[in-house]
Amino acid sequence: MHKAEQQALYSAVQAFVGSWWNGSDLYPDPCGWTPIQGVYCDLYNDFWYVSVINIGPLYDNSLRCTTNIPEFSHHLFKLKHLKVLSFFSCFLSPSQNPITISTSNWEKLANSLESWSFDQTRSHWNSSKHFWLPQKPAISSSARKWIRRQLA
């Protein structure tokens, strides 16, 4: 795994679970001997890359979202091979704590992201395609167009 990919993973996860989490100490080889629960990797051109991130209480030792507002760190969008991004019981009050993500960041994942979901939230859930559509989107129109193309 490239060092930049590894640092992006650690920082992205820390933004969702809280600053207490120190991935580099806990998981020095996140795609090998010390895997992170909910993070899966694939091999591309002889290097490991993060392909799946699941955050939330799926299993006893799953990474849980911070009790503060989880953040979409710019580091998340550096994971060029990310295919699946899933959250479980993380964004429980989006109307009170809306999160805005710039369109340019989402477009960085347009070539790799196949599925993203926000499960067990109080928002509208499209279970057939595993996409989360907020009741009142706080994202730009070009990002909404990209999401609609993915749903088509």
Is the predicted pLDDT of residue 15 greater than 80, yes or no? yes
E strands in the chain = 39-44, 47-55, 84-88, 115-119, 124-126, 131-133
Verdict on whether the full-model pTM lies above 0.95: no
Is the predicted pLDDT of residue 122 greater than 60, yes or no? no
What's the rounded Cα separation, in Å, for the pair 59 and 110?
A: 29
pLDDT digits (tens, 9 = 90+) for 45-94: 999 999 999 998 877 778 888 877 778 889 999 999 999 998 887 776 66
Q: Report the half-sphere exposure of 47 (CA within 13 A, side-chain side).
A: 12
pLDDT digits (tens, 9 = 90+) for 99-108: 777 777 878 8
Q: Higher-confidence residue: 115 or 58?
A: 115
